[in-house]
Chain A
Amino acid sequence: MKLDCKHVWENISEYIDGSVDAKLREDIERHLEHCEICSAILDSTRNILVLTADDRTFELPVGYSERLHERLAREMESSEQDSTKE
């Protein structure tokens, strides 16, 4: 079956995730070979995902980890005291 662009777009996300069946995958790949528009859409979407997974894109507040572990240490201390009181 020959796929049109719209059909490729609808399945592009699942194609990226590798969750389309073998037949559809093959059809999409055949389409991509000759369709620059869809290839560019695929590449741009993939690039966005690479960028998303890059730790520098979504940064944590400075000192977040330290504050979290301090809070946790205080919690451990107070639960320790509670259990020794019992």
Chain B
Amino acid sequence: MGTNETGLIARIVAGEKELFHELIRPFERMVYLTLFSIVKNETEAEDGAQETVISAYRHLASFRGDAKFSTWLTSIAINEGRKRLRKAKGAAEESIEEQAEGHEGDFTPAPLTDWREIPLEALERKELREALRVAVAELPDIYRQVFTLRDLEELNVEETAEALGINPGAVKVRLHRARMMLQKRLVPFLKTTAPARRGFFGRAL
């Protein structure tokens, strides 16, 4: 992907503008999800995604290739999202105070010995996906954003740190907490919706 991307970018900058459609296609989903993780509203996220892509198109010549294109694009998306958030919150609130990760809060997972016996088909259930969407949306902002970049968009720790402007240690801490909060949220859900039958080892599910 890397060399192909670099080649495409060079050709677009040299004048083959139409190729930008092709360049951006693999990243469309990522751009939308990044925006959505910040603005948490479909329409705002879509408008922001369009602005992000237009901005990337206009500024492509300034892309230096020392970062990955995906990281560069994600940074633009994050800025766009934050800008929209500021606007929504009103001019009175000039800057969004980043919530620092405090030590309060319970980030231990929920024990559930029977989970392993829940068949893989359970993951196919629509309700479970819906529950996960809701749980992710309800994560505190700083955790949701890291979780989105790492586990949804599959950026690595360094890329996530760079895109969010935080250090790699903070990425790891926030990701861990996000995952544990989600685990805790979804375990009871699975418990209550799992069919009442015996597991492989004779325990009730």
Contact = CB atoms under 8 A, between A and B. Distances in A.
Interface of A: 6, 9-10, 12-14, 16-17, 19, 36-37, 39-41, 43-45, 47-58, 60-61, 64-65, 67-69, 71-73, 75-76, 79-80
Given A36-B113, A68-B28, A48 B46 contact: no
Main secondary structure on chain B at its contact with chain A? Answer: helix
B28 A12 contact: no
A61 B123 contact: no
B62 to A, nearest CB: 15
A9 B174 CA distance: 14
14 contacts: A10-B176, A13-B180, A17-B157, A40-B113, A40-B115, A44-B115, A51-B123, A54-B129, A56-B129, A57-B132, A64-B28, A68-B50, A72-B54, A75-B54
Contacts of A19: 157, 172
A72 B53 contact: yes
Interface stretch (B81-89, B91-99, B104-112): B104-112
List the 9 closest pairs (A to B, CB-CB), nearest first.
Answer: A13-B176, A40-B115, A41-B109, A57-B129, A44-B115, A37-B111, A36-B113, A52-B151, A45-B183
A40 B50 contact: no
A76 B20 contact: yes
A64 B129 CA distance: 21
Contacts of B136: 52, 58
Main secondary structure on chain A at its contact with chain B? Answer: helix
B180 A9 contact: yes
A9 B115 CA distance: 16
Contacts, number: 123
A48 B183 contact: yes
A56 B36 CA distance: 16
A58 to B, nearest CB: 6
Interface in B29-85: 29, 32-33, 36, 42, 46, 49-50, 53-54, 57-58
Size category of the binding interface on chain B: 35 or more
Nearest to A49: B151
B152 interface: yes
B114 interface: yes
A51 B132 contact: yes
Given A52-B132, A75-B54, A61 B113 contact: no
Interface string B179-200: 1101100110010000000000
Given A44-B186, A57-B133, A72-B21, A37 B53 contact: no
B24 interface: yes
B179 A48 contact: yes
Contacts of A54: 123, 129
A57 to B, nearest CB: 5
A50 B182 CA distance: 13
